[in-house]
Structure formats: structure tokens, C-alpha cells
Amino acid sequence: MESNAPESFDQMHLSRIMLAALAKAGYEKPSPIQAALIPKALEGYDVIGQARTGTGKTASFAIPILEQLDPLSQQTLPQALVLVPTRELATQVHGEFEKLAYGCPTSIVAICGGRRMDEQIRKLRQGAQVVVGTPGRVLDLVERRELRLGSLWCVVLDEADRMLDIGFRPDIERILRRCPETRQTLFLSATLAGETQTLADRYLFEPERIDCSRKEISVETIEQRYLAVEPRDKLAVLVKLLEREQPPQAIIFCRTKLGTAKLHRKLEQELSRFPAMRGVGLETIHGNMSQSQRDRVFQRLREGKIRLLVATDVVGRGIDVSTISHIINFDIPQDCDDYVHRVGRTGRMGREGIAFTFVARDEGNRLSEIEWRINRQLQRDPLTPSNDRPLVTPRVSEMVPVAVAPESWPATQLLGGDQEGAQDQQEAPRKRLFRSRRSLSSKQKRQPPPSP
């Protein structure tokens, strides 16, 4: 965060109505990404913000957008578009916008697959100031001419790295090519390398770069441990761990949909044998479930009715419940970024959290990669049943100390782009000649509705 970053929302020259909404939401001071991003976004810059969920990144783009919206009476076409990777995240981002628009009626429409399109079309026809959606459905509605992009002055790519992981790159590019060249683009991503960097290079105009990832990746408040467990012992160790920890609320991550459903079934049988764990709310969530089933699970999780949730990465990533106390990686994540995202489900907004990762004997190198990525060594949990058996592929940290991890490279090097990026940049279609700067005085337009 820059040293001159504002320490309070009051210093950001926000409208009175926004300050009231922030107070109502209980946001006392800006998080680091908010302190860095909000002023830049209000100045009209394109921004690349490196931050994961749980850091307040949604409000960091929602606040400047809401502050600068023209009233619906003046502009019925969408002014801001937020692209997100999952339906769950679309719902969350929509909720955050609604929360921050408190006191100033604003039309925010969520459009994503798995929900009724006719309903979404109806809302768009009524007039939307902000549209939050997944790339597939957004593109579909654009092609049906139900969603018009010509009046957008701001486009947000939220969790850009995840959208690319899911394979949304062609859709995103198609959408961006149809947006006005003069728009502002805010690009949020937990990681920035390869394809993600290339996309940013191609579609952002002289962006300001904000890197809040390093501080947040090895979040101080999240204790992270590993257990060396052979596949056949995993279930038994999991049950012991749950008995010992008695987690107030835990997510147990598996690699596949099938594995998730299977573990859920087995865990149900196992837990019924332990008096202390009997009757805990145990549920599962994965990609084979319908949207309404998933929504119900999220709702119950938020209400605290679910204590143990068995989940897959894609779905689990959208979970934003600040009371999650435990993350258990029943299957070690395939990818270091997935680890960061899974663990980031706990320790939200500075609360305490703990994460356990099960590592089989031949998965030591994967554990090392994670440790290099987060620049931190995971502690071995004493519950490890195979204490006497070392990992077959030893962790790098058992051979050399964790010293200079990629995250400790200078930010300029990290953000510098690679060969591939440089090549793509030459072909970049973007030749923006001027930047659209929303006048700061536009925030004065944000007035509470006239009293009846």
C-alpha cells in the first residue's frame, strides 16, 4: 500500500450518502486494497489490483463505481459491468453493491447461467446501472441484444485468473472488444502471470498497479499445518481431526465432484458413530448440483446451520462466509493458487483461522511448491499417523531453507510480463487515444431520494 494511502474513508472525499452506507455496513476503515484502489479508480485510471477474496476487494471497485453513477433517469443503459467467474461470486458481488448503495436506490442486476434468463432480461429492460455477471451469460445476452455495452464507462474483471482457469478467455475477449474503447478497466486477480498478465496487457490502458497479494498470501492470522497421510488412512484421520478440533465451521476440500460426493457419504456414516459429532450440520456442494440447491447450501452456511461442508474448488471458491474457522484440504490442491484460494476461505477480514492439508508420501513436492508460493513453511500436525515415515518426495524445505520465494521478488519483476506477453502486446488491438475520466463532481449526483 502506498504510504500516502488514506487511512480512513473520510479522507477519500466520498459522498455523505456513501459514508453513511459504509457506517451502516459496519466498515470502519478501508482495507489495504480499498485504500490503494479507490482513489486511483476515482481518478479514472485503469488499475491492476492483485488481491484475493476476503480482503475487501469487492468494495474497492463497488465504491468508486457507485460514487460515479449517473441516475437511472438520465441513463437507462448499463454504465458499469462486473465480470466474475462463478454464479456464487456474482450473487455475492451483487449483494455487496446493494449493501453499499444503501440510501440511494440503484439498479444492480446480476446475470448468470443456471438462473432464469427471462427474469434477467426483464430486469435489463427495466434499466440497469450496474450489471454483474458471468462471461457466458453476459455474452449470450449481448448477442441477443438484450444487454447493451455501448454506454459502459467502467468494466471490472474480478478474479481474472480464475475466469481464465475456467476457460472464459474467449468470452471475455469478445465482451471487451464490444465495450467502448474509452472505458475504465479495473482488473482484479489473486495472481498475475502468463495468460493473466497477457490479458491485462492487451486490454488495459497504462494501468496503475497495486499489489496487495504478498501481505495477504501468508495471512498472519491463518495457521497452516500439514498431515502426512496415506490415502487409505485419510478418512480415519479426518474423523480424528474433526473430533479434536470440533470446528465451529469447516470446509473440507476435495479434488473432484465424485470424490466430494463420496467423502460426504462416508463422513455421514462415520460421524454418526461419534457422540460429539452426531447431528452436526454436514452438507456438500459441487458442480453437479443445480443452482437452487447450491444457493440453499450457501444460505444455510451463512445462517450457521452447516458446520461441515465438503466442497470442490470451483464452487468452494465462491464462498464468502466470515465465520469459517477451519479449512481442511482432504486432497492437496493441484495448483498453488488453488491452495491460496482454499485457505483464503478462512481468516476473513482479520479473523482467526486454521488450515490443514493432507499430504500423501509421494506428494511432498507439491507441498514444497505451496510453501514456496506462500513463502512459509507449514507445520507438521502431531495427528500425523505416519510420523516415522518421511515423505517419499521430500519437501524442498527439508533440503534447503525457504529463502527467496517468487513473492519476494521485486513487484516490478513480477509485473513485468513475459516474452509471450510482450509478443501479444505488439498485436494488441487496443489503441486508446484518450481516457474517459468521470468528473469527481459526479458523486454529488448521488443524492438520497427526495423525502415523500
Q: Encode 63-83: b = buried (16+ Cβ within 10 Å), e = exposed.
A: bbbbbbbbeeeeebebbbbbb
Figure out which of the listed residues 67, 313, 320, 371 binds ligand AMP, where binding follows CB under 6 A: 320
Classify burial at 252, counting beta carbons within 10 Å of its beta carbon; exposed 0-12, middle 13-18, buried 19 or more. Answer: buried
Q: How far apart are CA 12 and CA 7, in angstroms?
A: 9
Angle formed by the axes of helices 32-43 and 57-68, nearest 10°: 30
Q: Which residues contact 320 (CB under 8 A, 6 or more apart)?
A: 53, 54, 92, 348
DSSP state of 224: E
CB of 269 to ligand AMP, least distance (A): 34
Is residue 54 near ligand AMP by the rule CB under 6 A? yes
Please choose, out of 56-64, 122-130, 238-246, 279-287, the segment that lies near ligand AMP by the rule CB under 6 A. Answer: 56-64
Is residue 318 near ligand AMP by the rule CB under 6 A? no
Figure out which of the listed residues 15, 55, 260, 357 binds ligand AMP, where binding follows CB under 6 A: 55
Gyration radius from the chain CA atoms: 23
Sheet with strand 250-253: strands edge to edge: 282-285, 308-311, 250-253, 326-329, 353-359, 222-228, 379-380
Q: How far apart are CA 83 and CA 391, in angstroms?
A: 42
Figure out which of the listed residues 1, 5, 17, 31 binds ligand AMP, where binding follows CB under 6 A: 31
Closer residue to ligand AMP (CB): 56 or 207: 56
Residue 118: CB atoms within 10 A of its CB come to: 7
Figure out which of the listed residues 286, 348, 366, 443 binds ligand AMP, where binding follows CB under 6 A: 348
CB of 93 to ligand AMP, least distance (A): 8
Is residue 57 near ligand AMP by the rule CB under 6 A? yes
Give the x-and-dash track for 64-103 against ligand AMP (CB under 6 A). Answer: --------------------------------x-------
Number of residues that bind ligand AMP (CB under 6 A): 16
Figure out which of the listed residues 23, 349, 422, 428 binds ligand AMP, where binding follows CB under 6 A: 349
Closer residue to ligand AMP (CB): 156 or 391: 156
CB of 288 to ligand AMP, least distance (A): 25
CB of 397 to ligand AMP, least distance (A): 30
Closer residue to ligand AMP (CB): 97 or 226: 97
CB of 371 to ligand AMP, least distance (A): 24
Q: How far apart are CA 227 and CA 11, in angstroms?
A: 46
| Dihedrals phi, psi of 133, to nearest 5 degrees | -160, 170
User: Distances from the Cα of 359 to the Cαs of 133, 234, 242, 370, 391, in angstroms?
Assistant: 36, 9, 17, 12, 8
Is residue 317 near ligand AMP by the rule CB under 6 A? no
| Dihedrals phi, psi of 265, to nearest 5 degrees | -65, -45
Is residue 344 near ligand AMP by the rule CB under 6 A? no
In single-letter form, the type of residue at position 442 comes to S
Is residue 106 near ligand AMP by the rule CB under 6 A? no
Is residue 249 near ligand AMP by the rule CB under 6 A? no
Is residue 341 near ligand AMP by the rule CB under 6 A? no
Closer residue to ligand AMP (CB): 56 or 78: 56
Can you spell out the DSSP letters for 350-406? Answer: G--EEEEEEE-GGGHHHHHHHHHHHTSPPEEPTT-TTTTS--SS--GGGTS-----G
CB of 393 to ligand AMP, least distance (A): 35
Figure out which of the listed residues 27, 253, 339, 372 binds ligand AMP, where binding follows CB under 6 A: 27
Classify burial at 261, counting beta carbons within 10 Å of its beta carbon; exposed 0-12, middle 13-18, buried 19 or more. Answer: middle
Is residue 417 near ligand AMP by the rule CB under 6 A? no
Is residue 189 near ligand AMP by the rule CB under 6 A? no
Sheet with strand 108-111: strands edge to edge: 108-111, 130-133, 80-83, 154-157, 184-189, 47-50, 208-211
CB of 370 to ligand AMP, least distance (A): 22
CB of 126 to ligand AMP, least distance (A): 27
Figure out which of the listed residues 56, 133, 347, 417 binds ligand AMP, where binding follows CB under 6 A: 56
Closer residue to ligand AMP (CB): 97 or 356: 97
Is residue 23 near ligand AMP by the rule CB under 6 A? no
CB of 80 to ligand AMP, least distance (A): 16
Q: How far apart are CA 448 and CA 138, in angstroms?
A: 30
Figure out which of the listed residues 59, 80, 149, 152 binds ligand AMP, where binding follows CB under 6 A: 59
Q: Of 243, 280, 247, 276, whose CA–CA distance to 383 is shortest?
A: 243
Is residue 50 near ligand AMP by the rule CB under 6 A? no
Is residue 58 near ligand AMP by the rule CB under 6 A? yes
Classify burial at 442, counting beta carbons within 10 Å of its beta carbon; exposed 0-12, middle 13-18, buried 19 or more. Answer: middle
Interface residues toward ligand AMP, by CB under 6 A = 27, 30-31, 34, 53-59, 96, 320, 322, 348-349
